[in-house]
Amino acid sequence: MRSSTIAEEFLSLGHEVCFVGKIDPMNLIIERFQELGLGFSVADPKEFRTDNKNDILLIDSYSVPTSDPFITRENWFKTVSISDSITPKYDVDLIIKPSLITRTGLDGGSRILSGPEYIMLRSSITQNRPQVTTGTVPMKILVVGGGSDPSGFCNAVVEALARSPYEFVADVFSDNFDRDLQADQRIRIHKVSLQIEDYARDCDLALTLASTLAIELIARGVPIGIASAFENQISGAQEMLSLGLAAPIGNRDISGTWIIDSAILHDLITSEAFRSNLRSKVSGLIDWLGAHRVALEILSL
């Protein structure tokens, strides 16, 4: 999803874009590729002919070895990596770090782009209307577990929500949801799809993992509660929490069982002041020009 944002920007600038490699064919990804007018272009790198006078490689992977001959810099005009805390140290001209903290200088000889001004958002991301929940309108809560929700985050959050006495409507997006938990009329279950955007535009609160979606929700100005389920989400969660941009709603123990913080969940649901404080911290932090800035930096290499 995050590499699709720069693909979208290059397409809008009139350049050709080709995805190389195997991509998880979940509905969310398929819909995103269709939205961009891209197919699953080239599954086997051996079938892609590189042009080292014109082609730019942007690699976003945890599994491609740094020694893979396909990504050798001699094969390309320039090379770029989207990198987080567990990305291999690829030999590239430019590193894009999807971070809310600005870092300058070099990383192993590669220049770094990071910070709010380089956060790449899909063109469909727009700012939410200001939200102030009243006692006469049920709060709208968005719950998303990232991708297909493989960690069971949504199940744990729904169990906690079901125990609360408050008035709300929770729209939960998960492909691995325990349907036995759906008896609560306040909770509506959806398959993961780009329909998430329709609910993100109008929600009062979102509960999610520290992923690309969390960044999009911050850009929208939505107060969020976050957790991390996987190693590549830990540093992002720490950033959001240290900057006061999100509330910590739980964690997984060593057995993989979720522990949801009911006190924080209570404050997020019942305290307009708590949510307003989160909104004030994220307001204006991210604009919608990050992908364009990144594209121009890549083209200037």
What are the residue ranges in the chain where pLDDT is below 70?
A: 39-40, 106, 127-136, 181-182
Task: Judge if 2-121+288-299 and 139-282 fold alike in CATH terms.
Answer: yes
Identify the pLDDT of residue 137.
78
Q: Indicate the domain borders of the chain.
A: 2-121+288-299, 139-282
Question: Cα 272 vs. chain centroid, distance in angstroms?
Answer: 25
Residue type, 185: Q
Query: Rounded to 5 degrees, what are φ and ψ at 270?
Result: -100, -20
pLDDT at position 156 is 94
Q: Are the C-beta atoms of residues 209 and 145 closer than 8 Å to each other?
A: yes
State the pLDDT at residue 167: 92
Is-contact 173 191, C-beta < 8 A? yes
Closest to 71 measured CA to CA, from 90, 99, 85, 84? 90
SS3 for 225?
A: strand
Instruction: Measure Cα distances from 159 to 79, 116, 123, 180 in Å.
Output: 46, 34, 34, 10
**Which pLDDT value is given to residue 129?**
57
- CATH classification of 2-121+288-299, choosing from 1.10.287, 1.10.3470, 3.30.1760, 3.40.50? 3.40.50
Helix (H) or strand (E) segment spanning residue 58: strand 56-59
Superfamily of domain 139-282: Glycogen Phosphorylase B; (3.40.50.2000)
**Residue among 178, 229, 185, 191 at smallest CA distance from 207:** 229
- pLDDT for res 282: 94
pLDDT of residue 68: 95
Per-residue buried b or exposed e for 216-235, using 16+ beta carbons within 10 Å of the residue's own CB? bbbbbbbbbbbbbbeeebeb
Q: Which of 206-209's residues contact partners 24+ apart within 8 Å by CB, and which partners? A: 206/141, 206/142, 206/143, 206/144, 207/141, 207/142, 207/143, 207/144, 207/157, 207/249, 207/265, 207/268, 208/142, 208/143, 208/144, 208/145, 208/146, 208/153, 209/144, 209/145, 209/146, 209/151, 209/153, 209/233
Residue 2: closest CA among 48, 44, 40, 58: 58
Structure pTM? 0.90
Picking from 247, 145, 254, the residue whose alpha carbon sits closest to that of residue 192 is 145
Of 266, 216, 203, 202, the closest CA to residue 245 belongs to 216
Q: How far apart are CA 161 and CA 167, in angstroms?
A: 10
Other C-beta atoms lying within 10 Å of the C-beta of residue 2: 17
Looking at residue 37, its pLDDT comes to: 83
Q: Measured between alpha carbons, how far is residue 136 from residues 34, 205, 274, 296 in Å?
A: 40, 17, 19, 48
User: 250-252 and 258-260 as β-strands: parallel, antiparallel, unpaired?
Assistant: antiparallel
> Which residue reads 């197919």 in tokens?
39
Residue at token pair 């920007």: 9
Q: DSSP states of 119-187 as a string?
A: ----TT--PPPP----TTSPEEEEEE-STT-TT-HHHHHHHHHHT----EEEEEE-SS--GGGTT-TTE
